Chain A
C-alpha cells in the first residue's frame, strides 16, 4: 500500500509531468489562458491518459514483447492512442453528450499531446506492473491537471498586469512557468 502511495506522490509532485519532465507543454501554454479551458483539458487528459496507459501496457506485454516487436513500439503506441481518442470521441458524442460538450474540442488535441505518449512510454521503461501502470497514469494525469489549473490561475492574473511589450503573452507565460516549476522543485527531496 505504501508503495502505491509513494508512487502517487512522486508522480503528482516530484516528477510532475509538465514542470519536471517537460511533457505536454504545448497544451500547457496553449489552453492555459482561461480557467475553463484549462479544467476541460485537464479532465480530458485524465480520461484519455488512464485508458491509454492501460491499453498500451496490454498491447506491449501481450503483443509486442512475445513476438520481439519492440522496435515497432513508437508506431504502435501512437496508432493505439490516435484510435483510442477517436473512439472515445465517438462514444461520448453518442452516449454522454453532456460530457462531450465539455471535453469535445480538447479530445482531438490529445492525440498530439506528448504527455499521453510520454506516460505510456515511461510505464514501459520503468517496467511497471499493470496495476502500477494504471496508478501511475492516473497520478501523472492528476499532476498534469494540477499544474495546468494552477498555471491558468496565474495567467488570468497576469493578463491584468502591465507587462512590458516584448515580454507579453508567451514570453511572460514561460517565465511564470519557470517560477511555478521552481515551486515544484521544492518537492524534490520528498520521495
Chain B
C-alpha cells in the first residue's frame, strides 16, 4: 500500500510529468510563466485543487452515478477553485491580480478533470492523494522551470533579482506570447531527447 502510494507520487514527477508527458492544461502554462513567481503561484493553486478534488472524488466514487459523473466532477472541482480564489484574494492579493482570469480557469484545466476521471474515480483515497500531489508538484516544477527560463532571458532577472550585468540587453521576445510557444516547444524537444537515453 505504502509502496504504491510512493509510486503514484513519483510518476507525476518524471514519467507522467504534465505539460510535457501529458500535453494537457497548456493555457496556464503558456500564459502565466512570464516569471518564476507567477509560475509557482499558479502551480501551487492548481496542486491544491488537484489534491482536494482527487481526495473528495475518490471518497465519493461509489456514490456518484456513472452517467452524470463528469458533471459531478466539475461541480467538485469548481467548488475547490472557488475556495482557492477566495483564499488568494485574502492572503496573496498581488499574485491574485497578476494571475487574474487564470485562477477561475483552473476549473477547465484538463489536467484536473483528467486525473479525476482517469485516476481518482477508480482508486482508493491514499493513492489518489499521492497521485494528485505528484502530478501537481510536477506541474509546479514545470511551470517554475519555464517561468525561470523566460524570466532570465526575457527580462534578465531571476525571482525579481538581476542576474546579468547592466550591459545585458533583455531578449523581450521571450516574455511575449510568441516566446511562450517557442520556449515550451523547445523544452518539449529537450525532454524528448533526455527521455530517449
Contact = CB atoms under 8 A, between A and B. Distances in A.
The answer to whether A and B interact is yes
Interface of A: 19-26, 28-29, 71-75, 77-79, 82, 111-114, 116-118, 121-122, 125, 165-168, 170-179, 181-182, 184-185
B189 A26 contact: no
Interface stretch (B4-12, B23-31, B57-65): B23-31
Closest 3 CB pairs of A and B: A174-B185, A178-B181, A178-B182
A185 B176 contact: yes
A71 B82 contact: yes
B23 A114 contact: no
A172 B78 CA distance: 33
User: Chain A interface secondary structure, helix, strand, loop or mixed?
Assistant: helix
A171 to B, nearest CB: 4
B181 A175 contact: yes
A166 B108 contact: no
Contacts of B52: none
Contact of B101 (A71, A118, A165, A172): A118
B75 A79 contact: yes
Contact of B184 (A19, A21, A113, A174): A174
Contact of A171 (B24, B107, B109, B188): B188
A179 B174 CA distance: 13
B169 interface: no
Contacts of B26: 22, 25-26, 28-29
A30 B81 CA distance: 25
A166 B107 contact: no
B185 A22 contact: no
Given A75-B75, A82-B71, A178 B185 contact: yes
A78 B74 contact: yes
12 contacts: A19-B177, A20-B177, A21-B31, A25-B30, A26-B26, A26-B110, A78-B107, A111-B108, A114-B105, A171-B186, A174-B181, A174-B184
A178 B108 CA distance: 23
B23 A22 contact: no
A166 B75 CA distance: 39
A39 B67 CA distance: 29
Interface string B165-197: 000000000001111111111101110110010
A22 B101 contact: no
A181 B78 contact: no
